Amino acid sequence: MVNWTAEEKQLITGLWGKVNVAECGGEALARLLIVYPWTQRFFSNFGNLSSPTAIIGNPKVQAHGKKVLTSFGEAIKNLDSIKKCFAQLSKLHCDKLHVDPENFRLLGDILIIVLAANYGKEFTPACQAAWQKMVRVVAHALAHEYH
């Protein structure tokens, strides 16, 4: 069970309310594939990933980014039961998708930077701390059913 303070919950849900999930998700996934190009290994059927411009403009990347961040939103609605919320997704990522959990940590760090770029001063140190905890918890939950 994760311990969230009232302040952390407020910082997380407060910011989330403003997030454009499609844009933010698309940007986060695109940056993951650009900054850590080895992560492209999971997306060989996505078509053109040959350059940053191609990646950013790739509709499959944008769509998948939206899907991933929408899922994230579920965790935020269930802050007190994230492991349970992601149990099936965790099994999927292990058994079917074969994704090294390190990739969840990488995506989490990228998401933080996208939020920082979009919210500027509002993304205070306390806000960053709450969100880094959030992405860490999500990554941990997604790795939890691995065997």
Partner 1 sequence: MVLSANDKTNVKTAFSKIGGQIDDYGAETLERMFATYPQTKTYFPHFDLGKGSAQVKGHGKKVAAALVEAANHIDDIAGALSKLSDLHAQKLRVDPVNFKLLGQCFLVVVATRNPSVLTPEVHASLDKFLCAVGTVLTAKYR
In the region spanning residues 34 to 63, those forming contacts with partner 1, defined by CB under 8 A, are 34-35, 52, 55-56
| Whether the Cβ atoms of residue 64 and residue 29 lie closer than 8 Å to each other | yes
The answer to the question of residue 112 lying near partner 1 (CB under 8 A) is yes
The answer to the question of residue 31 lying near partner 1 (CB under 8 A) is yes
How many angstroms separate the CA atoms of 94 and 27, rounded? 25
- Copy the structure tokens of residue 44: 């060989």
In whole angstroms, the minimum distance from the beta carbon of 122 to partner 1 comes to 9
| Whether the Cβ atoms of residue 84 and residue 145 lie closer than 8 Å to each other | no
The answer to the question of residue 4 lying near partner 1 (CB under 8 A) is no
The closest of 63, 143, 32 to 41, measured between CA atoms, is 32
In whole angstroms, the minimum distance from the beta carbon of 1 to partner 1 comes to 20
| Whether the Cβ atoms of residue 36 and residue 102 lie closer than 8 Å to each other | no
The answer to the question of residue 123 lying near partner 1 (CB under 8 A) is yes
The answer to the question of residue 128 lying near partner 1 (CB under 8 A) is yes
The answer to the question of residue 116 lying near partner 1 (CB under 8 A) is yes
3-state DSSP helix/strand/coil % of the chain, to nearest 5 = 80, 0, 20
Binding site for partner 1 (CB under 8 A): 30-31, 34-35, 52, 55-56, 109, 112-114, 116-121, 123, 125-126, 128-129, 132
